[in-house]
Amino acid sequence: MPTTAQVKPLMASGGNLTVTTGAGGTSYVTFGSQACVRLTIINASGQTIEFQRGGAGAAVQIPNGGSASIEGITNASQIGVRRYNAANASEVVGAMWEA
C-alpha cells in the first residue's frame, strides 16, 4: 500500500500591506516593517509603478493590473516603490506578505 506524504504549508503566516507613493514622484517609499520571506506587490493604482530592492540598484516595472513576487527578503521594508513616470501625484500600492 502506498504511503501518504504529510503536506506542510509553505506559509506560516501572512497578511496585507499598503504604501502610498511619494507626492514628489521621484523618491522610493518603502513598505512598513513586517518580517516576511516573500512580498507580492499587486498594482491596481492605475499607473505603472516600479520597485527597488534594498534602496539601490535597478528598478523593476509593474504595469497597472500586474503583480510581482519578491522572494529572499527578511522584511517588507526592504522594498521601495514609486510611480514609473515620477509624476507629482501619490498612488496607493498594495502587497501581500508571507512569513
Residue-wise pLDDT tens digits, 18-47:
999 998 888 999 999 999 999 999 999 999
User: What pLDDT does residue 3 have?
Assistant: 62
Contact 21, 86 (CB under 8 A): no
Report the CATH fold assignment for 14-98: Jelly Rolls (2.60.120)
Contact 21, 91 (CB under 8 A): yes
pLDDT, tens digit, for every residue of 49-72?
Answer: 999 999 888 999 999 999 999 999
pTM of the full structure: 0.86
Q: How does 61-93 read in b/e, with b if 16+ C-beta sit within 10 Å?
A: ebeeeeebebeebebbbbbbbbbbeeeeebbeb
Domain ranges of the chain: 14-98
Contact 52, 28 (CB under 8 A): yes
Residues 92 and 18: their CA atoms lie apart, in Å, by 7
Q: Residue for cell digits 496585507?
A: 16
